[in-house]
Amino acid sequence: MSHTITVTINGKLESAQVEPGMSLLDFLRAQGLTGTKQGCGVGECGACTVLVDGTPVDSCLFLAVWADGKAVRTIEGEARGHELSPVQEAYLEAGAVQCGYCTPGLVMTTTAFVEKHAGKPVSREDIRRGHAGNLCRCTGYTTIVNAVESCLKK
């Protein structure tokens, strides 16, 4: 019952056989892309956030077959060699990383948020609402909001 999907992952076109019950998260991790983390497995924590055609989704609740023909971005695609993406750099500068387990998902959420809101007025409340689908148990969020704010100012 497996299905062939063709998906662009971090700019690279891949073809693969997937079972219909396979989540996008399991598919990505099986490809060796283990930067995307599984947290709760039920769409509550955002640790597994990836971008599908630029939109943040919980990959634990997204079937791999739905990614057929789409472009998926994961944390592995954000840095260019040893050069961090502007969002990763902002997280580093703001001290928005502690244990790091939520960071890949948060960085992907922020990446889409910054792309969507570039040049628009954004309040700290808007940033909090826009990141409400990502739980972090270490930082207390303030440094994360600071990081997002500094990205928007660049």
Q: Give the interface with other proteins as residue ranges (CB under 8 A).
A: 1, 19-23, 26, 41-44, 46, 49, 55-58, 61-63, 65-66, 109, 129-135
CB closer to other proteins, 30 vs 79: 30
Q: Yes or no: say if 130 and 46 are a contact pair by the CB < 8 Å rule.
A: no
Q: Yes or no: say if 39 and 45 are a contact pair by the CB < 8 Å rule.
A: yes
The nearest distance, CB 81 to other proteins, in angstroms, is 29
Buried b (16+ CB within 10 A) or exposed e, 86-121: ebbbbbeebebbeeebbbbbbbbbbbbbbeebeeee
Name the E strands within 1-116.
3-9, 12-18, 49-52, 55-58, 71-73
The nearest distance, CB 97 to other proteins, in angstroms, is 20
CB closer to other proteins, 54 vs 95: 54
CB closer to other proteins, 6 vs 55: 55
CB closer to other proteins, 66 vs 98: 66
The nearest distance, CB 74 to other proteins, in angstroms, is 14
